[in-house]
Chain A
Amino acid sequence: MVGIISYGAYIPRFRIKTEEIARVWGADGAEIARGLGVREKSVPDFDEDTITISVEAARGALARRPLDPGEIGAIYVGSESHPYAVKPSAAAVGEAIGATPVMTAADCEFACKAGTAAIQTGMGLVKSGMVTYAVAIGADTAQGAPGDALEYTASAGGAAIIVGNDDPIAEINHTCSYTTDTPDFWRREGQEYPSHGGRFSGDPAYFKHVQGAARLMLEQMGTTPSDYDYAVFHQPNAKFPTKVAGMLGFSREQITPGLAVPRLGNTYSGAVPVGISATLDIAKPGDRIFVTSYGSGAGSDAFDITVTDVIDSDVFNRNAAPTVEQLLANPVYLDYALYAKHKGKILMQ
């Protein structure tokens, strides 16, 4: 059955605390951190972007399970911060992992759910027999305008999921989606920072679509939340996924392992793939994982996943790449001035 063959995550080493950003804007940092449930967020190094994050994540997946890169028939990189407007990130990733030239590649965009759209695309190619392996990546170096509410959470990171048919470490039992045209968040071509329809455009956007896809999945699979060991929801902050989990009937214990956002921030397209990675880092054979992403504009993709014995077998080495917990450990903290330098917010002459 189609499933996850391997996975790898990458998070830059730098962080800035919510309270440090708030200090610059004269806001109450403790209050904002509590409200969002985000204590700090990751910041990319000067020479890191969506392509470098994608390559490191894909290399992590290949370290855990060495495959013949020539058998990778497709690479999809989902992001809203591709370094080029025209020139595919996926081709650079293919070259860097040695999968070129006999492969197809494309970049995906759907706000924060481009990574799960890439997983679904890869599943289709694998299930139809068009490719042996497809690499699906969600990665972002998210931008929030200085002083905007998004600046507290917009962060950097990503994860790669290799999809295939033979001996997956986790079978993907089913996927389904829920999509409408909703103007909650957007960025026009050539604009550096996104715009959003109000600070907490939650109900008609995040909550409607996440619940739409999640309830569709439960209905189509004939399951209830108690049938799952873990659940991963899109995490623009800690408040939204915690609230939607409660509305659907999932417990705090089910979502905790995959909730990286309090120490990571919102990695946009990377958020759910990183959440899946963090859950697979600790999952045991037989564990069942419920996943629902969210992308503004707007839509959600849901997945029902069952971990297999292969995760503990000789063909897979979980320790060959860093876990999300290890990637989050020992960060280097930046003050706002250094953060601005890192993010290119200072105009150089």
Chain B
Amino acid sequence: MSVPRYWRKQQNRYRLRGTHCETCGRYFFPPRNLCPTCRRDGTIVDYEFKGDGKVRTYSIIRTASEDYDLQTPFVLAVVELEEGTCLTAQVICTPEEVYIGMPVKKAFRRIIADGDAGVIVYGTKFVPA
């Protein structure tokens, strides 16, 4: 794992920092520097998402790579944020609890640890709201 690569996106992962087009009102996560609708006419500003949303769709991961094996089975979902943009993230609940439309909110969690000696990567997951 490349430490610089994770570090560069750290603020986006920690605080759900994306962007917002003030011209048409769209929100972007991961952040975009150019609005695909407004193009040159768009005014893009930084935006920190509140972290409230709902599960749009999900799958249950039962077999995972070594790093995530301890956590199986877990829920990986497409979460639609209140502001209208979607992202893929883990939802911390049992496979029996999750359903499409379930309200969720952001939670700060460990994403991955590079063995016992490497860096620990933190970021945003979701929990039932």
Contacts and interface: CB of A to CB of B under 8 A. Distances in A.
Interface of A: 45-49, 51-52, 55-56, 59, 83-84, 92, 95-96, 98, 341, 348
Contacts of A56: 107-108
B122 A51 contact: yes
Contacts of B14: 95-96
Contacts, number: 43
A51 B113 CA distance: 13
Given A47-B71, A59-B108, A98 B125 contact: no
Interface of B: 10-11, 14-15, 48, 69-71, 92, 107-111, 120, 122, 125
B63 to A, nearest CB: 15
Contacts of A341: 70
16 contacts: A45-B92, A46-B71, A47-B109, A51-B120, A52-B108, A52-B109, A52-B122, A55-B108, A55-B122, A56-B107, A83-B120, A84-B120, A92-B122, A95-B11, A96-B14, A98-B15
Nearest to A45: B92
A47 B110 contact: yes
A48 B122 CA distance: 10
Contacts of B10: 95
Contacts of B70: 46, 341, 348
Nearest to B110: A47
Contacts of B122: 51-52, 55, 92, 96
A80 B44 CA distance: 43
A348 B120 contact: no
A341 B72 CA distance: 11
Closest CB pairs A-B (n = 10):
A55-B108, A47-B110, A47-B109, A96-B14, A46-B71, A52-B108, A52-B109, A95-B14, A83-B120, A96-B108
B110 A48 contact: yes
Nearest to B94: A332
A341 B70 CA distance: 8
A137 to B, nearest CB: 13
Contacts of B15: 95-96, 98
A48 to B, nearest CB: 7
A96 B51 CA distance: 13
B18 to A, nearest CB: 14
A74 B5 CA distance: 28
Contacts of A59: 108
A83 B108 CA distance: 15
B109 to A, nearest CB: 4
A320 to B, nearest CB: 13
Nearest to A59: B108
A345 to B, nearest CB: 12
A106 to B, nearest CB: 19
Contacts of B111: 47
Contact of A52 (B11, B69, B110): B110
